[in-house]
Every structure is written in C-alpha cells, then in structure tokens.
Amino acid sequence: MTTTSTTPIRVLVAKPGLDGHDRGAKVIARGLRDAGMEVIYTGLRQTPEMIVNAAIQEDVQVIGLSILSGAHNAIVPRVMGLLKDHGADDILVVVGGTIPEQDIPSLKAAGVAAIFGPGTSLEETVTFIVQNAPRRDVV
Amino acid sequence: MVMPKATSTPSESAHQRFPSPAEQQWEQRVLDPALAKNPENPIGAASGVNLDDAGNARFTTISGTEVDRLYTEADLPREYVTDPDTFLGLPGQVPYTRGIHATSYRGKLWTMRQFSGYASAEETNARCKYLLAHGGSGLSIAYDLPTLMGYDSDDPQSEGEVGKCGVAIDSLEDMETLFDGIQLDSTTVSMTINSPASVLWAMYLVVAEKQGVDWNKISGTLQNDILKEYIAQKEYIYPPAPSMRLVVDTFEFGALQVPRFNPISISGYHIREAGSTALQELAFTIYDGVEYVEWAVRRGLRVDDFAPRLSFFFNSHNDFFEEIAKFRAARKIWYRLMTERFGAKAERSHKLRFHTQTAGVSLTAQQPRNNIARVALQALAAVLGGTQSLHTDGFDEALALPTEEAARIALRTQQILAFESGVAQTADPLGGSYFVERLTLDMENGAFDYFRKLDAMGGMVKAIEIGYPQKEIAEASYQYQRAVESGEKIIVGVNDFVVEEQQQAILYIGDEIRLQQTEKLKRLRARRSNEEVQRRLAELRRVAALDPDKEPVVPGQLSSANTMPAILDCVRAYCTVGEICEALRDVYGSYTEASWT
C-alpha cells in the first residue's frame, strides 16, 4: 500500500432530490477544494443512480450528499444500496443538511459515516474527511 | 401634486467628506485623545475583513460594506441638507424613500402574514385557521417540492418529498380542502408558487368561483417570480423564454379579470438566502422587475395597466441599519425606474409595495431560542423600513418546519412590535438620520451600478444564461463563510458562546402523506371524466404552442394566445398539477442549468 499525503482526496458533492437550495453544497464544494481536495459537483436533482454512477466513473473516495428537504430517508438508503451493488461501498459517504435527530441512527446504520448539521464549520468537515477517507493506491 | 425639480440622486463622483469646522475641532479635541487612550477594537477576530491596511480596526456590515465611526451632515450630498423636501421627500410623496403612505402605519398596520404549509391540505387548513384565530391578518401558503416542480405526489420523482417542505396539492380537490371554511372574499392569500404558478392560481380562482365569490373582489399575491428561481432557488421547470411568457400571461389575465390580485411578488428573499449581500439582493431583485416589465411591454401590454399590481418581497437579515437602508432605497429606485425608464404615468405604478420575511438563513440550529431575538430585530428593521406585510420565522426553523408553539411566538413577536413597542406610531422614524440616509444613498448608487452591468449583458435572462448573478452570489456566500470560519464574523452560539445541548422537539413529517395523496389520486382518476381531461390538456398544448407576439393585440381583450383560460378549464376538469405541467413540458421542454461552483 502506497499512500502519499500529496495525492488529493477526490470528492463528489451531490445534490439529490427535488430541492434546489444549493448554497451549502456550493460552499462545501469550494471549501473542500480550497483544502486541497479534488471536487466534482454534480449540480441539482441527481437521482441515486446518477450519483453512484458519477462516483464510480470519477473514482472518488468520498461522496457528500446535501439534503435539506426531508427526503433523506428515501434517498440515502438507496445510494448506500447501489454502492454496495456496485462493490463501491468502500466510498466514504457523509451527509450535510437538516436531518432530524431521530433519523440519524437509521442513516448511520445504513452506512453513512457522518452527518453534518446546520452551523458545522468547514474545518470540522475537512478534518473528518481527511481522517476517514479511504486511501487509494497511487498508480 | 407639486413635482420636485429633480428626482434623481444628486450625482456624486465619490463619497467625499467635507467636515464642518465644528467636526474638525471635535476630531482634534475629543476624538484623537480618545483614540490615543483607547484604540478601537474590531468586533470579532482581529484579522482579515476586520483590519484596514494600517492594521486598525475596521467595521463592516454583514455584507462586508465598511461602516464609518460617525456620520454627520458632511456625509450627505449638499442638496439633501439644503433641500431635503425634494431629494428625500415626505411620506406618500415622490421619490417615496420615506414610505408610500402619508400616514404610514397610523392608517393601517402591516399585514401579519405567516407563511405556512405542511403535510396534507387538511393539516394546513387547520394551521391556517389557527393563525387567523390568533390574530394573523392574512394567509401565505407554502407548497411542497413536488408541487413546486410540477409533479404529482405519486410520481417517482416525488418519493420522500411529499408534504415535507409545504403542503401537497395534486388537484382542485386538494385546493378545495385547503380553503375549506376560509372565505376568499375576506381573506387575502399569498401563494409561494413559481413555475406552476398559473396552475395553482387557476385552482384558487376556481375555488373562489365555487364559493360564489366574484373575481373582482378577491385579492392576494402569487409569487410567480421565475427569474429568481434561475438565479437562486432553482425551482424551475421550463426554459427562461416560455417561463417568461407564462408570467406575462398572468399579468395580462390579472389586469383584465382579477384586478385586485398581485400576479407576481418579485423576490429578493431567496437571492439573499442563497448567500448574496444586501446590495445584490436589492439590485438583482429590482432588475428582475425591470426584465418583467420589458417582456410585458414587448407583448403589447401598457405599463400602467399592469405595473400597479407588481409587488416585491425582501429578506430582513441581521444587519439592522443596512436592511432599513435597503428597504428605503428600494422604493426610490423603483420610482426612478418606472418614471425615467418606463415612463409610467399612474401613481400606483410608481409605488413599490413589498412583503418581508425574516432571514431563515440567519437562524441557528444551536441554542434555537436565541432565534427569537434575531427574528425580533429583523422584524423591527422591516417595520422601520416600511414593509406592507411581514412573516416572522419560527425559532426552530433551522431544524424543521415550525411547531405550533414556534409559529405562535413568531406571530406574537409581530404583535409586540405593533401594539407595545410604539415603533408604528410615526412615519419613517429613521428618516434624516445621517447614517441611514448615507446607507440608503449607497444602496441606490450601488444598485444602479449593477443595473448598468446587467443592461450591458443584454438583460437579466441573458445574465442568468451566462451565470453572472449566480456567480456573484456564490462568491459573496463563500466570503461570508470564510469570515465566519475565521471568527471575523460572530454567530452567537455557533462560533462563539457555544454550549453543549440536546436537540429539542421538532415538527416531524413522516412519509405517510405520499401514500394518502396516492390514494386520493387513484380515487380521483377513477371518478373524473378522463376523456374530458385529455381534451382539456390537448387544448392547453395547442394554446401554449401559439406565439403570443404573432397573435393580434386588442386593447382590453385577452390575447388568444393567453394560456390562463385553457389552464382554468383543465383545473375545472380536475386535471392534476402533474398532468398540466407535463402538457406544458411537452411544448416547452425542461431546463437544466450548467453548474457553477
């Protein structure tokens, strides 16, 4: 296993569901980029299938899902299931947005590594990703 | 009425100060020794935006605009001081900086219009009645995301979204339930709906018809502002040109058949929520207004036939004086544009009327009860800025839609302002404040700078297509986030004054609403005449495909290309929101933006 700290972490920032409020997704995408990561932003209204396909094609280590509309219980488990189906469940999945506390255990059980609520600092998000993103061999 | 000699702002090459001898003396004798003894300290971390080039404390608004230590007569153009009646005007008089009504709130308080909508039509009907029973003076309906995007509740796209961010409406049947027991001739209703605005409006009009209420007697407001959707909120369906055509159809239809209804609420709220500065909110919103007027005039409508019914909607954010200046400047800018750019003659065309909502984006999930104080200050700014109606956010809205308790406290906050604080007793109480007048002028000048840029791009639709406002907003939003990260801007309870806490009880909306709506739709499709539904949808497709610019314009008559009559017929036949929007998608296609980050 060769890992070097100079290999940037690749992240897909995705905005699933019908909601168009993308301030958070855009701020996060730029913040992660400024922290040295390679960030792909999907744009709006991505289905779980589109997100998983993009993640595999782009060979990312991390998927960040931005969800504010309350559709997380429908969307997140499907993303996790599709990742598993494609053998891509080593990808670290984090969720940002407004998630009621009572929904957090089931999302974590589905494999979400972290949920970042309103007011989370960029620094906290960056640190978590740096510490938890799976390593990729450098070819 | 005596018209002032000039209405434009006196030209200023730059904001140059010429302090009076007394002020110069004060600087030497009072200020300098005070600074020598106690240097000024920035509010927030002593870095970045909070320091000037010399390393001294710098003070800025939440939008990043520098605020000086003191404002005096020296900060205003000479004409403001020598001839305030002309340049500043008086309440109810041009240029309306000081308000559109001579008596301000003494004649009529602002409308306390609380935005509400969640789950099913039944539940939202109950919340609306609750708000009216507690002294709310108007209604404002929030629709869920499938409705906003023109999908039925049983559409695969709607999974997980039904009833979550607003009320689920699929057909006229739901609209009848929503307004059951609410008389539409005595309650004004505002509806937050954009791309499918004409569909929901048609449903509202048919409900009124069924209540036996004359369309001449109903009033209320459609949001119907598609431009800010492309710019900020992103709930668009069709491409810009057909979307603008649908908006102009509502202007034309409203002017002729529903004369007391505001067919549009040109909205800065969402632009601000997306992270813009106060000035960007003001400039982009008012320029959206310019774009609508230009499209309508190109269609052959006379400006004074529809402009009196254009209404606006602004955000009231944390920075108190900056917000007040924004509201005051908005009125003056609109007056200038309507007279100078569009030659509007009717006085009602000149007066900018606006609704305000406190800034949802400013609410914190941390220590949520602190939001009650934030909302009170933001609401106060809106009132001092002369708003016509106001929504105050619930303190728990960073977490979810508001609980009944949070909704009640929000309404009570307005009542405390209106009935206890005394702020509603005199017109434009901050008029003449050196600081507020300077900020108001800066807002006005800054907005016209943006207008020149947008004109050069060929208008707002063109600017949107190249992503200009989107990028400006994203940049401002990121800069603010950086200032928060570095502690240069403080958010109480988030990056300072933090405590450990448990999340409190919130309004939780489950996924059962989708099943209920799906059942309702199944019954509806079995009951109605599906043959008639198809016939009505086919007629809508036919009208929607006509080019309104090629149809004859007969003054006082609805264009044969206007889509409203066909949409009304669809609604009467119980076509669903999804079916009607799908018919229009067939004709117009749908829109996807390039994603800028």
Enter the ipTM: 0.90
In a domain, A40, yes or no: yes
- Would you say B169 and B143 are in contact if contact means Cβ atoms under 8 Å apart? yes
All residues of chain A having their beta carbon less than 8 Å from the beta carbon of residue B477 are: 23, 26-27
Interface of B with A in 489-518 (CB under 8 A): 491, 494-495, 503, 506, 508-509, 511
In a domain, A139, yes or no: no
Per-residue pLDDT tens over the stretch B469-527: 999 999 999 999 999 999 999 999 999 999 998 878 888 988 899 999 999 999 999 99
Q: Do B365 and A118 touch (CB under 8 A)?
A: yes
Burial (Cβ within 10 Å: 0-12, 13-18, ≥19) of residue B5: exposed
- Give the Cα separation of B484 and A109 in Å (integer): 32
Best mutation target among B161, B277, B393, B491 (most A Cβ atoms within 10 Å) is B161
Q: What would the two tokens of residue A77 be?
A: 């488990």
Angstroms from B164 CA to nearest CA on chain A: 6
Q: Do B160 and A70 touch (CB under 8 A)?
A: yes
> Between B164, B477, B596, which is nearest A23 by CB?
B477
Residue in chain A nearest B229 by alpha carbon: A20
In a domain, A1, yes or no: no
* Of B315, B323, B318, B325, nearest in space to B374 by CA: B318
**Site of tokens 């079995």:** B526
- Give the Cα separation of B53 and B547 in Å (integer): 58
* Structural domain count of chain A: 1
In a domain, A2, yes or no: no
Helix or strand holding residue A14 (H, E): strand A10-14
Per-residue pLDDT tens over the stretch B151-198: 999 999 999 999 999 999 999 999 999 999 999 999 999 999 999 999
CA dihedral B42, B47, B48, B49 (to 10 degrees): 0
Q: For the whole model, what pTM was predicted?
A: 0.95
The pLDDT value given to residue B85: 84
Residue A127 belongs to domain spanning: 10-132
Per-residue pLDDT tens over the stretch B246-267: 999 999 999 999 999 999 999 9
In a domain, A42, yes or no: yes
Burial (Cβ within 10 Å: 0-12, 13-18, ≥19) of residue B360: buried
Count CB neighbours of B52 within 10 A.
12
Q: What would the two tokens of residue B293 be?
A: 């007027």
Helix or strand holding residue A72 (H, E): helix A72-85
- Would you say B5 and B450 are in contact if contact means Cβ atoms under 8 Å apart? no
The pLDDT value given to residue B16: 77
Residue in chain B nearest A22 by alpha carbon: B274
- Would you say A10 and A38 are in contact if contact means Cβ atoms under 8 Å apart? yes
DSSP-assigned beta bridge partners for residue B391: B357
Residues in chain A, total: 139
Cα–Cα distances in Å, from B178 out to A118, B209, B262? Answer: 32, 15, 20
In a domain, A138, yes or no: no
CATH at residue A75: 3.40.50.280
Overall average pLDDT of the B14-24 stretch: 86
- Give the Cα separation of B391 and B359 in Å (integer): 10
Overall average pLDDT of the B285-295 stretch: 98
In a domain, A3, yes or no: no
- Would you say B200 and B168 are in contact if contact means Cβ atoms under 8 Å apart? no
Per-residue pLDDT tens over the stretch B107-134: 999 999 998 999 999 999 999 999 899 9
φ, ψ of residue B66 to 5 degrees: the values are -70, 140
The pLDDT value given to residue B7: 47
φ, ψ of residue B538 to 5 degrees: the values are -65, -40
Overall average pLDDT of the B37-43 stretch: 96
How close are the terminal C-alpha atoms of chain A, in Å? Answer: 11
B55: left (phi over 0), alpha (psi -120 to 50) or beta: left
Q: What percent of chain B has pLDDT over 70?
A: 97
Angle between helix B240-257 and B577-588 (nearest 10): 120
In a domain, A103, yes or no: yes
Cα B519 from chain centre = 35
- Give the Cα separation of B279 and B282 in Å (integer): 5
Report the amino acid identity of residue B178.
Answer: L
Interface of B with A in 394-453 (CB under 8 A): 398-400
Per-residue pLDDT tens over the stretch B293-344: 999 999 999 999 999 999 999 999 999 999 999 999 999 999 999 999 999 9
Angstroms from A7 CA to nearest CA on chain B: 22
- Give the Cα separation of A86 and B69 in Å (integer): 61
The pLDDT value given to residue B179: 97
